Structure 1
Amino acid sequence: MSFVNMTPTSARVMNLAYFATRNARRFPNHLAVVFGEQEWTWQAFDARVSALAAGLRALGVGAGDTVLAHSRNSNEMIEAMIAVFRLGAVWVPTNFRLAPGEVATMARVAEPAVFLCQTDYPDHAAAVVAERADCHIVWFTGDNAVPDASPQVSALIDRHMAAPMTNAVVERDTPCWLFFTSGTTGSPKGAVLTHGQLAFVINNHLCDLLPGLAHEDGSLVVAPISHGAGMHQLNVMARGGTTVMMPAQKLDPAQAFALIERYRLTNMFTVPTILKMLVEHPAVDTYDHASLRYVIYAGASMYEQDQKRALAKLGPVLVQYYGLGEVTGNITVLPPCDHNDETVALRPRTCGFERSGMQVTIQDDEGNELGPGETGEVCVIGPAVFAGYYRNPEANAKSFRDGWFRTGDIGHMDESGYVYLTGRASDMYISGGSNVYPREIEELMLMHGAITEVAVVGVPDAQWGEVGVAVCVLHGGASLDESALQDWLKTRIAKYKVPKRIVFWEALPKSGYGKVPKRMVLDELKRRDASLEASARLAE
């Protein structure tokens, strides 16, 4: 008897919104979400989710439809995510720092039925409507007044509070989240995440990052829930725990530690730059944070000096993971036991070992597996790998080889299976935990009438990990200064993508083939500016 190519009897899986359904039954009076001075139990949260799902359905949202969302953190953002899952629709969150045109591009790709937009971003709503005239606008509560007569999320919830709503039937490969990432060309790509895939991711996170998590646990949200923090809150929801969101959108370390003390919070998801700000603030010594068990950071490696300071202030609670949106963070983990003086000295700058249920290899350009210490591309297989890029066969062809997902990151693995990232196949750099793709910025800068050539590179920075430096060549007779160009960029792209420094040269260095290698640009920058060498040494 052979079981090769056996057809499964059923591909049906749990709808992720069932976590809220189950928690409302098991822990009806336990705190689910806290935002500012407002608190919602699981019973109240689940009722609001059902009401919002009914309201969205009344606007025509059904299974497979996409819902684009642009907002800062709030209880409504979490409620909307679960409501979209409940409908069997697809959640498409944005980075709230994106410019209106960038969100409109996402709308062009995703073709949303509804755009959920915070009232503070009317220009984004206008840009989406200009791109998708048939898209309904629904307003999240913000600081500004409601811009027009379009319905509000709060009103939809109130109107449909008595409406019963069951979770839509879904299968393993039913899409539930369109996670936008950028490729080396800078054009947006939508990574399709599914109910079955994310169910594995949640179990993997609970196993490798948050072992022993229970409903008594609580999590502080200090990063946008549109991305990794949103995934982290699904882990908390899976256990019936409590999510506490910072009421202010700008990080306030004193407020963060006050909330940890008040609610006896046990975990948080963050990035190295935010963690550095928290442990360097006097509030770390003022408030009781002994309840913390897991402080998870991702997005970039943490400098050794910063690691030691965080451990000294918080204790042995650090957990690092390495992963991309396409694998929903599931590539490697560096647990608390590997965050101590002995292991840091033994394996400096490692991002950990492969996650449970996942397999990682280092491959050469032909797809051959390399041995310990040999440098190549980090590739991964396993149930956490996404279903592929939405309507982008070219990107899928480039990103998969023999079933392996190619991360585009360069590194090596030691004999014990620890992975070290040593570079990137692309020129991407990570600033404050956010990926920045130079090609996107370069293409935009070349649209400025005064610029004829440009190269953007990432350089080490003690505060942000890396920052961008743009080297520009002006057209003959053109005049332009750094601040004017930065101001021009800020109206067209997210602020974090704007190069921290802009310099002007008469020509860019070129290879014998006429190309502009980024390494040559970096070397010339260091030769001309000794402060870059100093910042590199400081970051090390």
Structure 2
Amino acid sequence: MNSSTPLISPVTKRVMNLSHILRQAARRHGEDIGFVWGERTWSWAELDRRVDAMAAALAAKGIRKGDRVLVQSKNCNQMFESMFACFRLGAVWVPTNFRQTPDEVAYLAQASGASAMICHGDFPDHAERIREAVPGIRCLISIGRSAFGESYDDLVERHREQPAPEAAVEHDDPCWFFFTSGTTGRPKAAVLTHGQMAFVITNHLCDLMPGTTNADASLVVAPLSHGAGVHQLVQVARAAKTVLLSSERFDVGEAWSLVERWRITSMFTVPTILKLMTEHPSVDAHDHSSLRYVIYAGAPMYREDQKHALKKLGKVLVQYFGLGEVTGNITVLPAALHDPEDGPGVKVGTCGYERTGMQVSIQDDQGREVPAGVTGEICVCGPAVFAGYYNNPDANAKAFRDGWFRTGDLGHVDEEGFLFITGRASDMYISGGSNIYPREIEEKILTHPAIAEVAVLGVPDRTWGEAGVAVCALRPDQTLSEGELLAWLDGRIARYKLPKRVFFWDALPKSAYGKITKKTIREELETKGCLQPTDHAEVSAQRQ
């Protein structure tokens, strides 16, 4: 046989339409509760009927396979349903961060080429801006009564007796535009596909929450537009009920009361929210013994916060590292490897080992893999990697090298393959010719008993090129001065790594997903005049 002859004939790689997992749950567990929001509950059968009706309503308005449907909404049952309605049609779900401004959402509509919009009634300004800026929007549907569009629930009632067939889809057919957070430049639409997401669901069940069944329940404490939405897809695949907080305002007391009431077994969150939940007095007022998996991601969790959470909740923490472009599937640190105390054999600071079916490579600037213990860029390949950025060839060219997706994060692996993240490549700064990785300094500062939060960033310095600045938030009823903290750090980290300045704020700014945002901190430092005038000018020039 000629070496160029294909071993098999090309075939169409049809895969399961992702909405079929809801159909499966409805068939097997139709009358069981599938969704809880406030005092209302929906069975799996009712959810499936509502999704059918909304898919039929969208189809009646001309939405077809491949069309993009923009969704601007707080967490609610309609937002949850809209995901499956889009999937069922073969359309693409394009959720926004509901806290974005009308202009920001209009940009997402334009960038995605959206032809329909489902908008929560609390956002009339967003709907109006979309009408003005995006002529391609053919229909506008309102969640709740509003003056700007047809009512979602009215459409569901009108089309209730019109079952919608599941569109035939192939592995690489897009199902979700997952917009990046846009910390550097404007957000980009990462294209997630039906085949890729089927692997992601399987991988999550394998590595993050093994043994999940219809007897389980999951609490949502983050927007469904991003990681929490992926997490809920996984729950539906095993008919585990989803429980929402009653409003978009995060109430720690309510969260713990829901854990007790619904015997919550899993939740997905980020380190800052997990820290808030385990430091709040209500954690001790409610029974949380049902928890098996408290999954956190989005940023590394500082060791001191990790220890505290483990002491409060027991060994239920599961960490994963991953970006939206890899749908969270890079590494996992399972509950069994979360130790509440440091000691021999405990790998402090690791975010775990490679996820099933995924491969990590630490590479230098030329794309060569570096040895264990050497810092480089974290690159990854495997079935969870996205199809690419929509309509953005330049970004795709930068994101991939020799088939590897470049995360933009720096780190190293040890001899056993455990990954240690040093930080974002953009966070590293060079002081006096030495590379400084802020995370190492932040970890040390957080061991001070008075410090609740910290961010370290590099700013221009005439003497050293760049120097570190630490911005801290203190725990309640604690006091600490800049000189006291720097004196305490002296001897705990190398002197060339010591921050040049320390500022104390009431709290550090965070994104809608609970991540500390260094870009905003830098801007606030400049606005408050906290940087030296020469530094201020140089930083401003550098950012332009």
- Calculate the TM-score normalised by the size of structure 1: 0.81
- Report if aligned partners of 1:184, 1:427 keep a CA contact under 8 Å in 2: no
Distance 2:127 2:516 in 1: 19
The equivalent of 1:45 in structure 2 is 47
Distance 2:182 2:226 in 1: 17
The residue correspondences of 1:390-429 to structure 2 (distance < 5 A) are 390-427=390-427
- Equivalent residue of 1:95, what SS? coil
The equivalent of 1:63 in structure 2 is 65
Deviations 1:251-270 (A, max 9, x none): 11111111111111100000
Query: How much does 1:109 deviate?
Result: 0.8
Deviations 1:105-143 (A, max 9, x none): 1111111111111111111112212221241221113xx
The equivalent of 1:292 in structure 2 is 291
- Equivalent residue of 2:533, what SS? coil
Report the identity percentage.
52
The equivalent of 2:389 in structure 1 is 389
User: Structure 1 residues 299 and 396, CA, compared in 2 at 3 Å: closer, same or farther?
Assistant: same
Question: Does 2:100 correspond to 1:92?
Answer: no
Query: How much does 1:463 deviate?
Result: 8.3
Distance 2:471 2:234 in 1: 33
The equivalent of 2:357 in structure 1 is 357
Distance 2:474 2:295 in 1: 19
Distance 2:308 2:31 in 1: 39
Question: Does 2:166 correspond to 1:139?
Answer: no
Question: Does 2:255 correspond to 1:252?
Answer: no
Distance 2:97 2:516 in 1: 11
Distance 1:458 1:302 in 2: 20
The equivalent of 2:378 in structure 1 is 378
Runs of 4 or more above 6 Å deviation: 428-431, 494-497, 514-518
Question: Does 2:53 correspond to 1:54?
Answer: no
The residue correspondences of 1:122-161 to structure 2 (distance < 5 A) are 122-135=124-137, 136-141=139-144, 146-148=146-148, 150-161=149-160
Question: Does 2:78 correspond to 1:72?
Answer: no
The equivalent of 1:105 in structure 2 is 107
The residue correspondences of 1:302-341 to structure 2 (distance < 5 A) are 302-341=301-340
Question: Does 2:509 correspond to 1:507?
Answer: no
Task: Name the aligned partner's letter for residue 114 of structure 1.
Answer: A
The equivalent of 2:33 in structure 1 is 31
Taking only aligned residues, the RMSD between alpha carbons, in angstroms, comes to 3.0
Distance 1:344 1:269 in 2: 28
Question: Does 2:239 correspond to 1:236?
Answer: no
My pick for the range that moved more, 79-88 or 173-182, is 173-182
Task: Name the aligned partner's letter for residue 379 of structure 2.
Answer: C
Question: Does 2:212 correspond to 1:213?
Answer: yes
- Report if aligned partners of 1:91, 1:177 keep a CA contact under 8 Å in 2: yes
Structure 1: unaligned runs, 5 residues or longer? 439-454, 465-489, 519-540
- Equivalent residue of 1:230, what SS? helix
Task: Name the aligned partner's letter for residue 65 of structure 1.
Answer: D
Distance 1:463 1:77 in 2: 37
Distance 2:413 2:88 in 1: 41
User: Structure 1 residues 273 and 194, CA, compared in 2 at 3 Å: closer, same or farther?
Assistant: same
- Equivalent residue of 1:188, what SS? coil
Distance 1:517 1:458 in 2: 17
Task: Name the aligned partner's letter for residue 102 of structure 2.
Answer: P
Distance 1:288 1:166 in 2: 43
Distance 2:66 2:14 in 1: 15
Distance 1:67 1:35 in 2: 24
Distance 2:147 2:400 in 1: 44
Task: Name the aligned partner's letter for residue 506 of structure 1.
Answer: P
Task: Name the aligned partner's letter for residue 14 of structure 2.
Answer: R
Distance 2:349 2:211 in 1: 27
- Report if aligned partners of 2:118, 2:142 keep a CA contact under 8 Å in 1: yes
The equivalent of 1:533 in structure 2 is none
The equivalent of 2:505 in structure 1 is none
- Report if aligned partners of 1:508, 1:516 keep a CA contact under 8 Å in 2: no
Distance 2:396 2:136 in 1: 29
The equivalent of 2:268 in structure 1 is 269
The equivalent of 1:535 in structure 2 is none
The equivalent of 1:279 in structure 2 is 278
- Equivalent residue of 1:507, what SS? helix
Distance 1:382 1:158 in 2: 42
Deviations 1:224-262 (A, max 9, x none): 000000000000000011000001211111111111111
Instruction: Give the number of aligned pairs.
Output: 465
Structure 2: unaligned runs, 5 residues or longer? 429-437, 443-454, 458-465, 476-510
Task: Name the aligned partner's letter for residue 340 of structure 1.
Answer: D
My pick for the range that moved more, 107-116 or 369-378, is 107-116
Distance 1:307 1:508 in 2: 35
Question: Does 2:146 correspond to 1:168?
Answer: no
Task: Name the aligned partner's letter for residue 503 of structure 1.
Answer: K
Deviations 1:394-444 (A, max 9, x none): 11111101100000111111111111111212249999xxxx9x9xxxxxx
User: Structure 1 residues 256 and 515, CA, compared in 2 at 3 Å: closer, same or farther?
Assistant: closer
Task: Name the aligned partner's letter for residue 352 of structure 1.
Answer: G
